Each structure stands twice: as structure tokens, then as C-alpha cells.
Chains A and B, each alone.
Chain A
Amino acid sequence: MKAESWFFSWLRNESPAGLFIIVVGFLFGLLSNNIFYIEIMTLAAIYAIFAMSWDILTGYTHEVNFGFAFFVGGAGYVSGVLSLRLDLAPYLTIPIGAFAAGAAGLIIGYLTLRLKGPYFAMVTLAFASILFKLAFIFYNYTGGEEGISGLKGLTSEPRHDFLAVWAITAAVYLILRAYAGSKHGSILKAVRADEDATQSSGINTAYYKIEAFALSGFLGGIGGAVFAHSQMQVGPTMLSGHISIIVVLLAVIGGMGTIVGPLVGAIVLSLINDYLRVIEQYRIVVYSGLLILLIYLAPQGLVNLEFVKKSKILSFLFHGRGKVT
């Protein structure tokens, strides 16, 4: 009974929609025979990892990180070079890449601590662009325009690839939900509301912000390294502004500061993006137009819409029993 009680109290506060997506994802991976859809879902899951780990910093502190590609591409390149030059296996290169990204997050978090709002956004964008240019300057390590190809795949089969990626996605989701629900998450929210007041309550806000930055970088780095291995190549596109923008859009449209929002947003929008393949020529135009429309209609994100919060069922579905903030 005692062993069950913590489980149920956890389950009650969990978002049903998030758990539902994760379970359905596993079932889909086990049952589906369509390799094409499995590969699409793999990509969607990787984007979900990006969007969720972006959300832990930006959604909870409202300091916009516009240079998320720094973590994605950085970890991708680290694991790519290690995999190719030192012939390491993915289960070694992915953690190393993620730790490198986490360490970078620590350093950048420390440097950019004083900056707020637009200044913070732009300095992150600048760091990502510097790394992008460096990838071209050190072309004999990074392969310049073409990048590095011939990485080891995650596993030998697409279905196992998907299941591995999905397991990581689920783990990232649960870790982030736990982190956000803990004292640390509450402090980040307090920083978002009023940093000065939080500081004067005797809380070292700088520490928590850097911690969130490093965690965001670490998990984003896992995503980036997994991305590199599942594509079996790393290129400058992984470092480009395009990735950063898409991650920001997916998370914002899903609903910042909820973790479940970015998960839903990334999965749903990636699937929509794929259905648009019927009009391949206009796909990207229609897709980015749709993203603009969604932001315009729901600036606070889909799961944070007023009617979702007001309606009991929807609010329970997305936010669980926990209080919506």
C-alpha cells in the first residue's frame, strides 16, 4: 500500500495527455509496420526532445533562448567526430556530446546571467551563429559545407531506432516534469514573476538560472547527438538558425512553461508538416504560414489557451490535477 501511494499521488498530478502520447508512441512503435511513418515519428520525437528541453529554460524564466542550435549542433558535432575518429559506440558518444553541451550551457549561462529580454535572446543567437561559422572555418574537422557522414546508426533497424528515441523522449519528458514540479521549478517561476523579489527572499537566483540553462543544454545535447546518430550524419544545417527558429516556434505554439505543451506541439506540428507533403512544392510556405497564424491566434500557446484552462476536462487532460500557472 505504501509503495503504491507515492505512485498514485504522482500519477494524479501528471498530465494525462502527456502520458497518453508516450504510451501511444510505444504502442505505435511496437505495432506499426510502416517504416515510413516510423521514421517520421522518430524525427517528431527528436523535435519534441528539443522543444521540451528548450522549454525548461525559456518557458519557466521567460528568457528566450534563440540559439538552441548551439546545443543541438554542438552535441551533434562532438558525437559525430568522436564516433568517426575514435570509433566510439553511440551509447558512449551521446552522453559525451550531451555533457559537452551541458558544460557549454553552464559557461554561457554564467556569462549571460545579467542579460534580460532581447539582449539575452540576441546573445544566444550570436553564440549559435559563431559556432555555425566555426564549423566552416575548421572544415578539416567538421567537413565544412558537407558535414560529417557515415556515423554509426543508433541500432541496425528503424523500428529499434524509433523505440530507443521514444524511450529517451519519455525519459526527458518525465525528468523535466519532475524538475519543473520540484522546488527548482517553483523558484524558476518565481524568477519569471519577479527576480528582485525572489532574490530578496534569500534565494540565489543566479544559481537556479544557470542550473536550468545547463539542464536545457544537457537534454538538448542528448537530442542533438541522437539526431546525429539517427540521421547518420552531421551537417551545418544542424547548427543553423533554422533549427533554433523551429524549436522556438514548436514550443511556443504548444504552450510555454508546461513541458507537456512543447511535447504536444512538436508531435502534432511535425505530423501536420508531413501531411502537407501532398502539396510538396508549397509545403514549407504553407507550414510556416500556418505557424504564424497559430502564434497570432494563440500567442500563449495551445495548452495555455483561456478556454482550455477554464474547461475542466481539457484542463485536466493537459495539466493534470496540478495547479495551472
Chain B
Amino acid sequence: MEILILGLVRGSLYSLISVGFVLIFSVGGVLNLAHGTYYMLGAYLTFIFYSLVFHGASTGGLIFSVFLALVCVGLIAGVIYYILLRPNIQSVIYVMVLTLALALFVSEVMSLFFGVSGASVPSLIEGSTKIGNLKVVNQQLILLPITMFVLPGLWLFLKKTRMGQGIDAVAQQRMAAILMGVDADRALLITYSMSAIMAGLAGALIAPVSSVVPDMWLFPLIKAFAIAILGGIGSLLGAIIASFLLGYAEVFTSFLIGEHLSEMLALVTIAVVLLVKPSGILGQKIR
């Protein structure tokens, strides 16, 4: 029972993080190593708006600062994409090196301003719920409805709106989409911002229950990558399935063996899946 609930919570957190990562990779072939940085910015900006701008006002203020933080993350990601990444977007090495350098830079900036010990953000809902003989913090439970809202929303956006269809088309066949009149550049820009916002949302929601520290970007990046590999890079559905698989697998190992090994699980997953079946669960065969 405990494993069921905790795995569900963890899985939905992971899916929120990894879907954006997979999306931008499948649309633009961009391996965004700054993905964890947007997660971190989501948490930090929520903290900045809440305690420095609104001086720790009410719950309404907190929701509003989460909203503002997400807008800022989207804008920052857009600017980074437009100025830094766009000129050399075709070069895989350039994109990877630059995004990793950005991740390093942002984490240094944050440790300069807020110290290495971190900052704290209050919960949206206080208290905890007792399910069976297990206490779950409400802030974690809130992840479930939000994920259930965001993921179908994303699906609707990609399949039903004109812009979403354009993004989908670029993901399927970049050249053909451009010939059909889709602005591939803009599609990529929007996708990049959107994936950053989803990572930022995950960061902002998890900020109250985890510590907001300057090196918090690495963990979601590795998880996102493990999930993307496991699910098959380029497959959103695969990413969601893999998120819950990894979430449950981690909770299982930490219950049965220990916390240390559950942290290694994602890494071992990357190594094993890449070595044994590089295409993942639902991915197409890679060349």
C-alpha cells in the first residue's frame, strides 16, 4: 500500500520532469542538459517571488508566485534558446556543451546569492494525510491531480491545436513540415519554453518538501535521462510509462534494500538499457 502511493507520487513527479525533456529531444533533436536547471529555477524563483517580493504573504501569494516563477522560467528558456542555442542548433556537441555550461553557471549564481545551504518554501497545503498506516505529506499528493491535468493538456495541445499539430509535424518529419508551411524555428522555440515550464512546475511543486540547494539540478537531469532512455527517446507515452516504472522501482529498492541503492537505480538503468536495448520500451530503432 505504501509502495503503491509513494510510487505513484514519485512517478508523477518524474513524468512531469521527463516529458518535457523527451519532447524537446523529439522535436528538435536537442539534448537539453540544462533541463535540470529549469527545474531548479522553478524552485528558486518561487522562493524569490514568495519571500523576497511578496514577503511571505498568504497562500494566494504563493500560488501567484508559482505562476510568476513559471512565466519567468519560460521567458528565460526562450531567451536562452533564441540567443545562445539557435545559431548552432544542428551541432549536437555544441548544444550539449553549452547547456551543461549553463547548468554550471546557474548553479554557481544561485550559490553565490543564496548560499550552498539552500532556501525553503512553505507548502501550498499544510499537513499530511493518513492513508492506511502511512503518512503522506499533502504537498506531495498535490502532484497527482496537477500531473493528471498537465499531461492530458499537453496531449490535447499537441493533437488538437494548430500550433501543437505543427510541433508534432516537425517532430515527425522536419523537412516535410517546413515544406507544408510550418515555422520550424518557432515550433522549436515554443517547445523549448514549454518543456522548461514543465520542469519548472515540477521544481516549484517539490520545493517545499525537498531542499532548495544549488546542486539540485543534477538529480532531475539524470532521472529525466534515464526515463527518456528507458521509454525510448522520442516517445512521450514511453516516457510516462517509464516514469512510473522507475518511480515504483525506486520505492521498491529503497524499501527492500536501502536508500543508497535506489539512487543508483536510475544510473544503472541508463547503462543497462543503452547497452542491451538502446531503443527503449517504445522507441524507434536508432541508427
A-to-B contact residues, CB < 8 Å:
62, 64, 66, 111-112, 114-119, 121-123, 125-127, 129-130, 133, 136-137, 241-242, 245, 248-249, 252, 256, 281-282, 284-285, 288-289, 291-292, 295-296, 299
Do A123 and B274 touch across chains, with their CB atoms under 8 A apart? yes
B74-102 Cβ-contact flags toward A at 8 Å (1 or 0): 00000000001000100111101110111
Decide if B148 is an interface residue (CB 8 Å cutoff).
Answer: no
A116 to B279, CA, bound (A): 12
List 18 extra interface pairs beyond A64-B97, A121-B31, CB under 8 A: A119-B286, A121-B96, A122-B229, A122-B274, A126-B271, A130-B271, A242-B104, A248-B97, A248-B100, A249-B101, A256-B93, A288-B108, A292-B84, A292-B98, A292-B101, A292-B105, A295-B94, A295-B97
A204 to B262, CA, bound (A): 40
**Min CB distance, B166 to chain A, in Å?**
24
Task: Pick 25 A–B contacts, CB within 8 A, sort by A.
Answer: A66-B96, A66-B100, A111-B275, A112-B275, A117-B92, A118-B92, A121-B96, A122-B229, A122-B270, A123-B270, A123-B275, A126-B225, A133-B260, A136-B260, A137-B260, A245-B104, A249-B97, A284-B112, A285-B105, A288-B104, A291-B105, A292-B98, A292-B105, A295-B101, A296-B84
Do B93 and A64 touch across chains, with their CB atoms under 8 A apart? yes
Question: Which residues on the A side are within 8 Å of B17 (C-beta)?
Answer: none
Do B264 and A133 touch across chains, with their CB atoms under 8 A apart? yes
B-to-A contact residues, CB < 8 Å:
25, 31, 84, 88, 91-94, 96-98, 100-102, 104-105, 108-109, 112, 218, 222, 225-226, 229, 233, 260-261, 263-264, 267-268, 270-271, 274-275, 278, 286-287
Do B101 and A291 touch across chains, with their CB atoms under 8 A apart? yes
Q: Which of A117, A122, A256 contacts B225 (CB 8 A)?
A: A122
Do A123 and B94 touch across chains, with their CB atoms under 8 A apart? no
- Nearest A residue to B95 via CB reads A118
Question: Which residues on the A side are within 8 Å of B261 (C-beta)?
Answer: 137
**Min CB distance, A293 to chain B, in Å?**
10
Question: Which residues on the B side are within 8 Å of A129 (C-beta)?
Answer: 222, 267
A256 to B93, CA, bound (A): 11
Question: Which residues on the A side are within 8 Å of B286 (C-beta)?
Answer: 116, 119
Question: Which residues on the B side are within 8 Å of A117 (C-beta)?
Answer: 92
- Nearest A residue to B109 via CB reads A285
A295 to B233, CA, bound (A): 27
**Contact A115 B263, CB 8 Å, known A62-B93, A245-B104, A299-B94:** no
A102 to B233, CA, bound (A): 31
Do B274 and A252 touch across chains, with their CB atoms under 8 A apart? no
Question: Which residues on the B side are within 8 Å of A282 (C-beta)?
Answer: 112
Q: Which of B31, B105, B264, B278 contacts A115 (CB 8 A)?
A: B278
A24 to B260, CA, bound (A): 48
Question: Which residues on the B side are within 8 Å of A66 (C-beta)?
Answer: 96, 100
Do A130 and B101 touch across chains, with their CB atoms under 8 A apart? no
**Min CB distance, B132 to chain A, in Å?**
32
Question: Which residues on the B side are within 8 Å of A122 (C-beta)?
Answer: 31, 225, 229, 270, 274
- Nearest A residue to B110 via CB reads A285
Interface centre among B97, B218, B233 (most CB of A within 10 A): B97
Question: Which residues on the A side are within 8 Å of B260 (C-beta)?
Answer: 133, 136-137
